[in-house]
Chain A
Amino acid sequence: MKHTISVLVENQFGVLSRVSGLFSARGFNIDSLAVGETEDPTVSRMTIVVEGDERTLEQVKKQLNRLIDVIKVQDIPPDDLLEREIVLVRVGVTPKNRPQILEAVNAFQGRVMDASTNTLTIEVTGDQSKIRSVFELLKPYGILEIVRSGRIALSRKGKLTVKQ
C-alpha cells in the first residue's frame, strides 16, 4: 500500500541526503519525493510517498523522527489527503491531429506551454488518477518526453506546525 508522509525539516545543507540515505540504508522504497521551502524560510517540507505495509510505515516514521534535522512527521490518511502533482508532457503533433490533442488537453484543464510545428508541450496538474488518464489519452499521439514534479500534499485536517 502507498502512504503519503509529510515531513517538516530544517531548511539546511545535507538534510535531503540524510533523508534519502535513510530510505536506501533501511531498504524503504520511495515512490515520489518533493521538497520545498515553507511559510517559514528556516523550514522545508518534504512530501514522501512510500510503498509498504503498516509495519514498514511505522519504521519509516520512527526512523525519520530519529533524524535531528527532522522536526515533524505526519502520515496523511487517504481520507484527509489533498494531493497534487504537476506533469509536463511533450507530444508529437501533425496538422491533422493537433485539434484533437488540444481538445483532450482542455478536457483536463491542461495548458499548452509551448508549441512548435511538430510538438506540443502540455502542463497538467491533478491527482494521480487524472494524471494517469492524461497519459492514457495522449499515448496514441506519441509521447516524446515526460517530467513529473513528484507529489505534494497537505492534510485536510489542521496545520502541521513547528513547536518552538
Chain B
Amino acid sequence: MVKKLIGAKILAESLLREGVDVVFGIPGGANLPTFDALYDSPIKVIMSRHEQGAAHMADGYARATGKAGVCLATSGPGATNLVTGIATAYMDSIPVVAITGQVRTFMIGNDAFQEADTIGITRPIVKHSYLVKNVKDLARIIRESFFIARTGRPGPVLIDLPLDVSTTETEFVYPKEVNIRGYKPTLEGHAGQVKKAVEAIKKAKRPVLYAGGGVIASGAAKELTELARKTRIPVTTTLLGLGGFPETDPLSLGMLGMHGFEYTNYAVGECDLLIAVGARFDDRVTGKPDEFAKKAKKIQIDVDPSQISKTVPIDIPIVGDVRATLEVLNKIVERGETNGWLKQIAEWKDQYPLVYKEKDKLLPQYIIQQISEATGGNAVVATGVGQHQMWAAQFYQFNKPRSFLTSGGLGTMGFGFPAAIGASFGRPNEVVFDIDGDGSFEMTLNEIATAVSNNCRVKVAIMNNRHHGMVRQWQDLFYKGRHAQSEMVGQPDFAKLAEAYGAVGITVKTREEVRPAIEKALKTPNTVIMNFLVEETENCWPMIAPGKPATEMLGTYESLKEHGGTPQHRKFAEELPEDLSLS
C-alpha cells in the first residue's frame, strides 16, 4: 500500500529526494501548506525579507555549490517579486527551482485576491515552467524540474502550485527516471569536429582560449587548465568565467571585454585561433562584433546549439558539454608552436598594465587588492553591478571555480548581498565576501536582517563613492558631466545601520585602516558591513566605448600614465604546482 500525502507534503518529500538542504522564501496565503509541510522537515527554511532576496539567495547558493537553489514565494506579489531574481538566473544559466503559490485552480482567471498569471509573466525568463493542475502530476513535475534546471545549459524552472492542489491527497511515488521526449541535451562533442579542432590547435601560431560561464557550469576548470598547460595556450575568461582558470598561472590573461585588460583585448585582436569554451560572444565581450578577433579562425564549444554562430560566425562548432568535450580533446590534442606568441604576450602584459593614481581619498582598486591578498584569492566573492564589480574582476585574482558570484547577463544591482547570504549556506565554513557599491547595496540591504538572524558571517565591503559610479562615469564621458540622479542623496551611515540590525559596522576612511578593517572582519563571527568611503570621481579603466571595436579602448595605460600613477602588475606564480605542471 503506497502512502497517501497532500501535495505540500509531496513537495517537501520530493525536495529531500533531490538533495535539497536549504530553501529561501516567504510564506503567504497561497503557499501556507508548503511552509507548514516544511515546518517539520529536515530542510532548512530561510525567510528572506523580500522575495527578490530569496531568489538571489537561491541563485548565490547554486553558483557557489553547483547544486540547484530553491526559492519559494506566494502567489501574486510574492511571485512578481521573484521576477528579477529569476531573470538574473536565466541570463547567467544558473539552476534555480522557483516554487510559487497560486490561487485555487477553480479561481484561476477570475482576478482573485493575490492572483497573477505567474506562468505568463515568467515565460520568457525561465528554461521551463509548470502549472500543476493535478496533484497526481506533482512528483513527476518536481523530478523533471530539477532535471531540467541542472542539465544541459542550466537555468531556472518555475513550478506554479495552486493552493487546492497543495492540500489534495494522492499516492506518493517519486519517479526514478525522467523521460522528456523534447529534451535530450547533447553531451559529447562530435568526434569529427573535435579532430578538426585538434588540427587547428596544432597549426595555430597565436592561439587564445576564451573561457566563459560554461566552464564553471559544467565543472570543467580542471580540464580547461589541463588543455591550456598541455598546449601552452593563454586563457582569457569572461566575467562569468572568472575562477575557471587560476589567475596566478602565467598563462592567465584575466578578463577580456569592455573593462577587461588592455593586453588581453590586444591578444584577442591579434590571435589567429580563438577557442571559445562555454562562452557566448556577449556584446560586453566583443564590442563591435564584426571587428571581434577578426584575424582568427574560431572554434566554439557549447552545450547550447543556439549559441553557436549567434553573433559571430564560427568555423569549427562543437556542440557538447564542455567538460565531456574537453576530456576527449585533451586525450588527443597536440601542442603547436606558441613560444613566440607567449613571449609577445608577456611583453604586452609588461607594457600595458592596469594603473591607478593615489588620491587623497581611498581608492576602491586598492581595497579590492587588499581583500584579494588577505584572503589569498580563496574567498567566495559576490558583487553588485557597476564600477566595483568591474574592479573586483580586475583586482581580485581568482584561483578557483565557483568563487565569483556576479550578475553578468542581466546586470542586476542588489544581487551581491543576498547572493553572498545564499552562498554562505552552501559553503558554511568558507569566507564569503560581498564586494558591493553603495548604490547596489541600498537595493537589497533589507536582507541584513536575514543575514544576522541566521548568523551568516558574510563580509560586506561597500565601495562607497556616494554615487551610482558607473552611471556617473558614463555621464561624465557621454553626457557632458550632467549628473542626472546619479548622486546618492540621503544615504544612511552604513556602519550605524549595520549596528541597528545587530551586525557589526566598520567605517574606513584612510589607507592605513583598510587592512586592519579586513582582518577584523575576517575574525568577527557575525555579519560585518565595512563602509569604505572612497574617491567619488574615480573611473573604471580601460573601457571599450559602446559600439567600438574591442581593440580601441579609452583609459589605456599610455593615456593614463601621463597623469602619473602606479602600474599594477598582476602577481603570477613562478613555478606551477607539481600536480598541475604539464609542460
Contact = CB atoms under 8 A, between A and B. Distances in A.
B149 to A, nearest CB: 11
Interface in B168-198: 179-183
Given A163-B181, A164-B181, A66 B304 contact: yes
Interface stretch (B121-129, B264-272, B384-392, B497-505): B121-129
A25 B90 CA distance: 15
B182 A71 contact: yes
Interface string B130-169: 0101000000000000001000000000000000000000
B120 interface: yes
B279 to A, nearest CB: 17
A-B pairs, 5 with minimum CB distance:
A62-B306, A68-B128, A71-B182, A68-B183, A25-B124
Contacts of A21: 123-124
A68 B120 CA distance: 16
Interface in B95-138: 119-120, 123-124, 127-128, 131, 133
B310 interface: yes
A129 B181 CA distance: 37
Nearest to B319: A62
Nearest to A66: B306
A132 B183 CA distance: 40
Interface stretch (A10-18, A28-36, A103-111, A134-142): A10-18
Interface residues of B, number: 20
Contacts, number: 42
Contacts of A69: 128, 182
Given A17-B120, A25-B124, A65 B305 contact: yes
Nearest to B180: A68
Contact of A62 (B120, B180, B182, B305): B305
Interface string B291-325: 00000000000001110111000000000000000
Interface residues of A, number: 24
9 contacts: A14-B119, A55-B309, A59-B310, A62-B305, A62-B306, A66-B304, A68-B182, A68-B183, A164-B181
Interface in A133-157: none
Nearest to A15: B182
A163 B180 CA distance: 11
B3 to A, nearest CB: 29
Q: Is the interface of B mostly helix, strand, loop or mixed?
A: loop
Contacts of B133: 13
Given A14-B119, A62-B306, A67 B182 contact: yes
Contacts of B119: 14
Interface of B: 119-120, 123-124, 127-128, 131, 133, 148, 179-183, 304-306, 308-310
A71 B182 CA distance: 4
A17 B117 CA distance: 13
Interface of A: 9-10, 13-14, 17-18, 21, 25, 55, 58-59, 62-63, 65-72, 162-164
Contacts of A72: 182
Nearest to B123: A21
Contact of B131 (A9, A14, A63, A164): A14
Given A62-B308, A68-B127, A68-B128, 15 more contacts: A9-B182, A13-B131, A13-B133, A14-B119, A14-B123, A14-B131, A17-B123, A62-B306, A63-B306, A65-B305, A66-B304, A66-B306, A68-B180, A69-B128, A70-B182
Contacts of B183: 68
A75 B148 CA distance: 26
Nearest to A163: B181
A104 B256 CA distance: 67
Contacts of B127: 68
A127 B305 CA distance: 33
A139 B215 CA distance: 61
A10 B305 contact: no
Nearest to A62: B306
B304 A18 contact: no
Given A17-B120, A25-B124, A68-B128, A59 B306 contact: yes
B181 A71 contact: yes
B310 A68 contact: no
A75 to B, nearest CB: 14
Point out which of B133, B182, B183, B308 has the most chain A C-beta atoms below 10 A from its C-beta: B182
A162 B123 contact: no
Contacts of A63: 306
A162 B181 CA distance: 8
Nearest to A25: B124
Point out which of B128, B181, B309 has the most chain A C-beta atoms below 10 A from its C-beta: B181
B182 A10 contact: yes
A58 B309 CA distance: 9
A155 B124 CA distance: 31
Nearest to A9: B182
A58 B308 CA distance: 10
Nearest to B313: A55
Contacts of A10: 182
